[in-house]
């Protein structure tokens, strides 16, 4: 097995711990009277969530540094670029999600759908895709200032592996939640995290 695949699986395994831990806390926390929460019931400022995110980030940075064989200077510059890029990428994901939700709402309206709004949303799709490509080009330009072509290729391959691993974990979590909500699968049938059947 290639070292990069092993490293990715280790990080995805750590992600599984993060998701299962947050899900366990959500199940143990009474929802009545609680403020809105996310990430399986943890607020963004919850010390446990912050600690888990920090540990995950450190694990990823260590893996990237080892796989790309970065110097201290390269690692620092890569961290800066990744932070700036992630802020832009997060804004893009938010806009894409809002556009998809708006389109779903219009389609669900059937004959009452606002066709002018649908046309506007259709026009927005290629603009969002161009933003994604522009963001990637900008990131590549910045990375080319301090990473070799081989390091850049390995970096994007690693990003892709991590992204797919996270998506797979999220799909599994959604599937587990859906199964638990089916008739006959109430809380008394759920297996507690780390517990026995």
* Domain parsing of the chain, residue ranges: 1-68+156-197, 75-147
**Number of CB atoms found within 10 A of residue 62's CB:** 13
| pLDDT tens per residue, range 155-188 | 989 888 888 887 787 788 777 666 665 555 554 4
pTM here is 0.59
| pLDDT tens per residue, range 2-56 | 444 444 454 444 444 444 434 333 333 333 333 444 445 567 677 887 888 788 8
Q: How far is CA 179 from the centre of its chain?
A: 22
Burial of 49 (0-12, 13-18, 19+ CB in 10 A): buried
Q: What pLDDT is stored for residue 154 in this prediction? A: 92
pLDDT value at 59 more than 50: yes
| pLDDT tens per residue, range 69-120 | 999 999 999 999 988 898 899 999 999 999 999 999 999 999 999 999 999 9
| pLDDT tens per residue, range 116-145 | 999 999 999 999 999 999 999 999 999 999
Average pLDDT, the chain: 76
* Backbone dihedral angles phi then psi of residue 38, each to the nearest 5 degrees: -140, -175
Q: Note whether 82 and 162 are within 8 A (CB).
A: no
Q: Which of 18-22, 63-67, 93-97, 190-194 has the highest mean pLDDT?
A: 93-97
Three-state SS across 2-59? CHHHHHHHHHHHHHHHHHHHHHHHHHHCCCCCCCCCECCCECCCCHHHHHHHHHHHHH
Query: What tokens were used for 128?
Result: 């969002």
173 Cβ contact list (under 8 Å, min separation 6): 19, 23
């Amino acid at each position: 097995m290639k070292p990069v695949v092993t490293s990715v699986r280790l990080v995805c395994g750590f992600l599984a711990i993060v998701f299962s831990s947050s899900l366990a806390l959500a199940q143990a926390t009474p929802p009545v009277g609680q403020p809105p929460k996310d990430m399986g019931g943890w607020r963004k400022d919850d010390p446990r969530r912050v600690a888990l995110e920090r540990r995950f980030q450190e694990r990823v940075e260590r893996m990237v540094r080892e796989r790309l064989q970065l110097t201290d200077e390269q690692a620092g510059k890569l961290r800066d670029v990744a932070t700036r890029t992630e802020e832009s990428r997060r804004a893009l994901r938010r806009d894409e999600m809002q556009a998809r939700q708006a389109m779903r709402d219009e389609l669900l309206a059937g004959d009452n759908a606002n066709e002018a709004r649908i046309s506007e949303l259709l026009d927005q799709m290629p603009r969002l895709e161009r933003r994604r490509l522009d963001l990637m080009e900008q990131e590549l330009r910045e990375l080319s200032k301090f990473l070799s072509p081989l390091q850049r290729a390995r970096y994007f391959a690693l990003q892709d592996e991590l992204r797919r691993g996270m998506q797979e974990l999220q799909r599994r979590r959604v599937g587990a939640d859906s199964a638990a909500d089916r008739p006959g699968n109430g809380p008394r049938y759920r297996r507690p995290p780390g517990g026995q059947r």
